[in-house]
Amino acid sequence: MELKQLLVVLDPTHEDKQPSLERAAWVAERSGAALELIVCEHNPALEGGFFFDGPAQEKARNSLLANRKKWLEKLAEPLKEKGLTVNCESRWGKPLSKMVIQRVKELQPDIVFRDATTHSLLERLFLNNTSWQLIRHCPVPLWLSRDSEWRGKKLCAAVDPGHLNDTKNELDHHLIQVAQYFEQTLKLEANYLHTYAPFPKSLIFDATLAATYDQQVSAGISQHKQRFAELFSNYNVADERKHLIEGFAENAIPEFVEQEEVDLLVMGAIARGSLETALIGHTAERVLEEANCDLLIMRHPNQRFA
């Protein structure tokens, strides 16, 4: 991975603070990457000719977009004074996720930055929130920024060796390589975490299986340890930076983030069936609800521009 171009999706309704812009500028200063600030606008009152005729409606849209671009350029001024390369783009259309992905395919940025907000289970279930749509469909890494203090000191890559949908661990190796690049380029201390949870004994109703439950759990733990060790066999990573923890990911990862004061959590997203995704949600989505830090979602390297 090499950072050359960053795309920052901004919300004009939150003019007081833009965490995603702060993070992107921080990354650009350390990597030399160029920035593009984009705002996508849409207002039903300027569709269908209900309040304006055709020419007046187009004029009103253009005026709104010009106003948004002027706002972006004002945000860009202090960044340009620091020597950063910044472009500003305002577009008309909906939904926002579709507009962002369209620009991603045109610009092919290395990372997309967007503010992170938590939302209800009902919103996630019906897939009507931009953040969840981008997690699922954005073809490049997605950095979701929280409105919290940014220390810029530590990252954690959550790996899952032996995942049924990634038996060669290609995604995990990609996460490790990205974490090492960030450590070298952005000076973020890289840590690596794998969580595992034994099958609950209360859900075993076969007498034979119940009798050997402890042995099975012990064998499973040994297998996780072996896979975790094998994953790092070709990397020079200190033991104190590698963490193997028992627990469900959606609980154990946020707890680790809080205890270790992690600033950036790096996670992989592996495509699954649309029904499963809609009803359950990716682990990354569930962790986003709980982990009080920024989240970087990485796709499988072969899925970048699928």
DSSP letter assigned to residue 232: T
pLDDT at site 120: 52
Give every CB contact of residue 110 below 8 A, 6+ residues apart in sequence: 1, 2, 3, 4, 5, 6, 33, 140, 141
Ramachandran sector of residue 271 (left: φ over 0; alpha: ψ -120 to 50; beta: rest): beta
CATH 3.40.50.620 domain range(s) in the chain: 150-305
> What is the value of pTM for the model shown?
0.86
pLDDT at site 106: 96
Fold that domain 1-147 belongs to in CATH: Rossmann fold (3.40.50)
CATH 3.40.50.12370 domain range(s) in the chain: 1-147
pLDDT at site 68: 93
pLDDT at site 273: 46
> pLDDT: is 82 or 51 the higher one?
82
Whether the per-residue pLDDT at 277 is higher than 60: the answer is no
Residues 174-197: tens digit of each pLDDT: 999 999 999 999 999 999 999 987
Q: Both tokens of residue 299?
A: 């796709």
Largest CA distance in the chain: 78
Give every CB contact of residue 70 below 8 A, 6+ residues apart in sequence: none
CATH class of 150-305: alpha beta
Report the DSSP pairing between strands 142-145 and 294-299: antiparallel
Kindly state the percentage of the chain with pLDDT values over 70: 78
